[in-house]
Amino acid sequence: MRRTLAFLFCASIVAGMTGCSGAKSPTGGGGNNVTVSVAGTSSSVMTFRKVTFTATVTGTSNTAVTWQVNGVTGGSAMTGAISTTGVYTAPNFISGTLIPANSNATVTITAVSQASPTSTGSAMLTLLAPGQAAQNGAIVLGTSGSNINASSGNTCCGGTLGSLVVRNGVNFILSNNHVMANSDSASLGAAIIQPGLIDNPALRTTCQSAGTTTVANLSQFFTLEGNPPNPVDAAIAQIVPGDVDTSGNILLLGATTDANGVPVPGGRPPDRASRHRWE
């Protein structure tokens, strides 16, 4: 569950899109130029979701275009797919190869004029991962989180706030020792924040917690060091009432989907994987 972010490497996936662009080329008849421009209904998109793009072609009566994602006609499973009508479907996960150093994960949507293939227009679309984003209200688990002190210099750390556990009627978050207890170095009572320092959208390169929410406090963990070493990498943190969804739901884990095909947060019955009993 652990991810580490060097000062010049940004693993969080957040928003931004360049404006439309167009290119022209001679048509071979009458000296006219063909120009293509591209516009989308959104500047960013979550995994699983869709964005519709339109292309405006001037300088020719043939306004048909061929759609590409990162230079590949129709796109791919890694970059997302785009239909012949310009409907882009984001990938179901974001590959690390799409995340440049100290920047956001983006793809380039391009429309190629069928009348003049050297005439193109393009726009950049940012891909968002819901598990790494800051949540509002009571957070659903399966999301980004970390100990508030999960950093070393300009190296930020974080992981996943895995699931809900119940102990003597009290609700806790279950995750790894190395996520919430900083590999044995954290103090009991330390704040557990959402999102984790590695995914803090405003200050991820300086490992600051401003803008995050304290959703729990570290309560107990199995130590990783010892003789013999403990094979269990686990920790629990008592939730801050009202800041964590106590139904046991886990982000993107559910038997149903919404109208866009995105898994609705859900979980197994209370005595199964979404709620665990810590004895």
Same domain, 114 and 139: no
**Full domain range(s) for residue 230:** 132-277
Q: Which of 68, 95, 128 is the last residue of a domain?
A: 128
Q: Which pLDDT value is given to residue 107?
A: 95
Q: Which of 100, 128, 156 is the last residue of a domain?
A: 128
> Would residue 6 count as lying in a domain?
no
Q: Which pLDDT value is given to residue 4?
A: 44
Same domain, 147 and 273: yes
Q: Which pLDDT value is given to residue 248?
A: 83
Q: Which of 110, 128, 146 is the last residue of a domain?
A: 128
Same domain, 49 and 105: yes
Same domain, 17 and 121: yes
Same domain, 148 and 268: yes
3-class secondary structure per residue, the chain? CCEEECCCCCCCCCCCCCCCEECEEECCCCCCEEEEEEEECCCEEECCCEEEEEEEEECCCCCCEEEEECCEECEECCCEEECCCCEEECCCCCCHHHCCCCCCCEEEEEEEECCCCCCEEEEEEEEECHHHCCCCCCECECEEEEECCCEECCEEEEEEECEEEEECCEEEEEECHHHHCCCCCCCCCCEEEECCHHHCCCCCCCCCCCCCEEEEEEEEECCCCCCCCCCCCCEEEEECCCCECCCCCECCECCCECCCCCECCECCCCCCCCEEECC
Q: Which pLDDT value is given to residue 245?
A: 92
pLDDT average per 10 residues of sequence, the chain (279 residues): 39 38 45 86 90 97 97 96 97 80 80 96 91 88 93 84 92 95 94 90 69 94 78 93 91 73 62 36
Same domain, 216 and 106: no
pTM above threshold 0.85: no
